A and B are shown apart, each in its own frame.
Chain A
């Protein structure tokens, strides 16, 4: 089980997240939602060890991950928000780099890479430099790199970004099956429809604080709203969409 307890992070005194707490159990897919700048990526970066938390604790299987961060990092797979890859490497070379950094022996790594490249339809481009890849292809490389070592915890920050409709459907099913195998999955996404369909629970962040933490069904009942999209808008938006649109048009026409 992954438990985040009262997590707070400030940048130069300005809080990015404040008192954020949630839990993800094995087999559970947690949708981690929030508008731009709400603190989703900050939380994710703390979880994977890229940032240090200011206050609060993160427990994995009952122990603080910071007691033995390397051990925790060995068990996570991470897809970052931006597809930042080394452009001078080919897709295959990038996967080799990721696999080797995780200590996977060559005899196991190479067949795995071959299979991932074939399954993600990247085989023909496996020797082309990443700079020539489309956004979706880069995303597939990042997904492959995150899955290479069969992690117990998957932290996916906008994993569907740039993927075509078919690839999104396949990824949705993949995430579902991984959860069914007992993996802990944290999914941060702006695609409400996908989150609504596959996440057992959602945490909605607003201005760095948790605005909601429950299952989608229960949130619908509590808030008397028909969809996750409307729940999200209700919890996070300052203006109504109509007001926003009319203000934009006013500025355009000024």
Chain B
């Protein structure tokens, strides 16, 4: 018998249990499916890391024909900084995705209550499982690249420490919240912190591509970002490679200090908070789920009770389900990152001399289209994630009484939660920058384009949001991301230019408006054909689902 198959002590067995269930979630409908997904993710991390490795080594030599020593040194620094920043953001996002797993859950305490294990053992096992998970990720990201360079330790150690840092820092932050806030405030603060951090990390990940383009004459930017942890760890990497620059030594010292403090705090909070955390989980009274009876803005969206049922259910799930909120925030973070990045790229294209007015015009023309291309597929993806799947029997036995109304409710919620906010934010800017007449024309064309995007994405939609099982990994994540990025970067700019050009003259606006309107109405007609006739899908399988292939 293999040693791992033997029965060991409680901490070992608990660690084994927690590690095997690290991806346990309703998102993986079939037992054991998480293994396939985890292997796929690991393979993707490895492949992405190797691609980054190529970039980080080739970049300095591509960009300048005869650079000075100083310039080469700086280019080498920025070319290391970019992938380092990206990896740190990826690790941070993985830690946030595992937020609930970082400490024991309510279910852990109940399930283990009758067994002879104490809270300290549960906490220790959780911490070990978390450390093992972090180590697997760090090794996947750094082991092979480190072996491919001349000085494996000098390259590998700083990168590994940089990747561990976000994991420990996020645990430390969670522990800090646990120990300083009351039970009710902890739940609220944790959700907000997760949202803000995921937005910031996504923004950081997207900005990392920009960092690699830093030119040698913009060293001032380096000073400006001396507060950023990726810069510290890039300095540590330079120091390990023998850089004698004092600034790099300062960064290296900060990196070392940050790592040690985060590790110390992570360990400390784990072992200090284990009693308080159990009390927090098991004894904090649950907050009221919803608003007291009275007028609700959602009542405006539906008069039919069946529509109202679905609209309220969707709104409540979006607001209260942690997973759904987090995924939605991730999409919002991606949208913010891509939008801000687009402005940086447009300014860089104008050699950083673009006026505020031209930047605002760019934003008004470009942002609503790109935001629609990210937020609508994002909401569609969130709708596909199940919430308490076992409770969907209620919908299954009442579906036949209101299928068409349900689909109509899905349509309304998407319009109100995805498309309307985009235009509520950008419409005043469009009017202020372009004036009433041109602003209105631009907004109408953009609105029609957003509606057409919605129609294309929901053409084959045949399920009730949050009520269908979800089988991830049906297509490679790289393919999905590739399609997303290709759509955003190849379709959005021409569409924005088309709208900007045709909206200048009322006659051309009319032509494009009619074309967009006709396309939208035709797609809407196609989507609504057979509404309420075909049965909804409650089991997601590659055969059952047919979509346009844009979402996971």
Contacts and interface: CB of A to CB of B under 8 A. Distances in A.
Contacts of A39: none
A134 B400 CA distance: 31
B394 A101 contact: yes
A98 B394 contact: yes
Contact of A48 (B306, B309, B397): B397
Contacts of B396: 49-50
Given A87-B388, A100-B306, A103-B306, A129 B397 contact: no
Contacts of A102: 305, 398, 401
Contacts of B394: 97-98, 101, 145
B289 A50 contact: no
Given A50-B393, A97-B312, A100-B308, A110 B293 contact: yes
Interface residues on A, range: 35 or more
Contacts of B390: 82, 84
A225 interface: no
A88 interface: yes
B402 to A, nearest CB: 7
Contacts of B397: 48-50, 73, 76, 78
Nearest to A106: B305
A36 B440 CA distance: 66
Nearest to A91: B289
Main secondary structure of the interface of B (DSSP, over half): helix
Interface string B247-289: 0000000000000000000000000000000000000011111
18 contacts: A49-B397, A70-B401, A78-B397, A82-B390, A84-B388, A86-B387, A89-B313, A90-B288, A97-B309, A101-B394, A101-B395, A101-B398, A102-B305, A102-B398, A103-B305, A110-B293, A127-B289, A128-B286
Which 6 pairs from chain A and chain B are nearest by CB? A100-B309, A70-B400, A90-B289, A132-B286, A129-B289, A88-B320
A74 interface: yes
Nearest to A88: B320
B316 interface: yes
Nearest to B287: A129
B66 interface: no
Contacts of B308: 100, 106
B266 to A, nearest CB: 29
Interface of B: 285-290, 292-293, 304-306, 308-309, 312-313, 316-317, 320-321, 387-388, 390-391, 393-398, 400-402
A104 interface: yes
A70 B313 CA distance: 22
Given A70-B400, A78-B397, 5 more contacts: A50-B396, A96-B309, A100-B306, A101-B306, A101-B309
A159 interface: no
Contact of B305 (A74, A89, A93, A100): A100
A112 B539 CA distance: 34
B413 to A, nearest CB: 15
Contacts of B286: 128-129, 131-132
A115 to B, nearest CB: 14
Contacts of B312: 93, 96-97, 100
Contacts of A109: 305
A89 B393 contact: no
A85 B391 contact: yes
Contacts of A96: 309, 312
Contacts of B387: 86, 88
B401 A74 contact: yes
A31 interface: no
B359 to A, nearest CB: 42
A99 B289 CA distance: 18
Nearest to B394: A98
B519 to A, nearest CB: 35
Contact of B321 (A85, A88, A106): A88
B393 A88 contact: no
A130 B304 CA distance: 25
Nearest to A90: B289
Nearest to B309: A100
Contacts of A87: 388
Contacts of A69: 400
Contacts of B288: 90, 127-129
A166 interface: no
Contacts of A99: 305, 309
A93 B289 CA distance: 9
Contacts of B292: 127
Contact of B391 (A50, A74, A86, A93): A86
A208 interface: no
A101 B402 contact: yes
Contacts of A78: 397
A102 to B, nearest CB: 6
A80 interface: yes
Nearest to A131: B286
B161 to A, nearest CB: 39
A74 B285 CA distance: 37
Nearest to A76: B397
A181 to B, nearest CB: 23
